[in-house]
Amino acid sequence: MSTTKKHQVGEEITSICTKCKLALDHTIAALVGERVAKVQCKTCGGLHRYVNPASAIETPAKRAAKQTKIEQAWEQLIQSAASKKKQPYTFAGSFKQNDLIDHAQFGLGVVTERLSWDKIQVSFKDGEKILLSKRRVQ
Ligand SMILES: [Zn+2]
C-alpha cells in the first residue's frame, strides 16, 4: 500500500474509467492528502474517483472465488432439497422455504427465504435472485 511517488493535480495517471470500464489515461483532478481522489478521463472527459488499475486487475479472480462460493452453497442447497419434488417456476406458483424450483432462465434453485407476501429469495447457481411468488391464501 505504500506509494513513495507523490502525485500532483494535473498530472497524468492511469485509472480505470468508471464510464469506459477500461484502464485509460486520466488527469488528476483532486487530491486528498497525497492520495488521488478524483480523476478526469482523457477519453470520455468523465470526472470520477480514482480506481487503481492494479487493484482492479484482482477483481476477476476475486469474482471467480466469490462465484465458486456461491456455486458450492447452491450445490449444498440442491442436495439438501434433492428429496423434494422439482416444481417449475411460474408467477402464479406458491413456493415455500426449501422448495426446489426449476426456472426457465436460471435453472434449478432452492427457495431460501420468503421476503414478503409476494416475493421469495431463491438461490440459483449464479447467485441469489428475488422472484415473484404469492403466498397461498388459505
Ligand atoms: Zn472514460
Residues 82 and 53 in one domain: no
Cell of 32: 486528498
Residues 53 and 81 in one domain: no
Round to whole Å and give the CA distance between 42 and 79.
Answer: 51
Asked whether residue 50 is assigned to any structural domain, the reply reads: yes
The pLDDT of residue 10 is 97
Q: pLDDT of 106-133, one tens digit each? A: 999 999 999 998 999 999 999 999 999 9
State in Å: Cα 15 to ligand 1 middle: 9
The pLDDT of residue 39 is 97
State in Å: Cα 41 to ligand 1 middle: 5
Q: Which parts of the chain sit beneath pLDDT 50?
A: 1-3
**pTM for the model:** 0.56
Query: In the chain, how many domains are there?
Result: 2
State in Å: Cα 24 to ligand 1 middle: 7
Residues 85 and 128 in one domain: yes
The pLDDT of residue 58 is 62
Cell of 31: 487530491
The pLDDT of residue 2 is 47
For 103, the domain range is 77-132
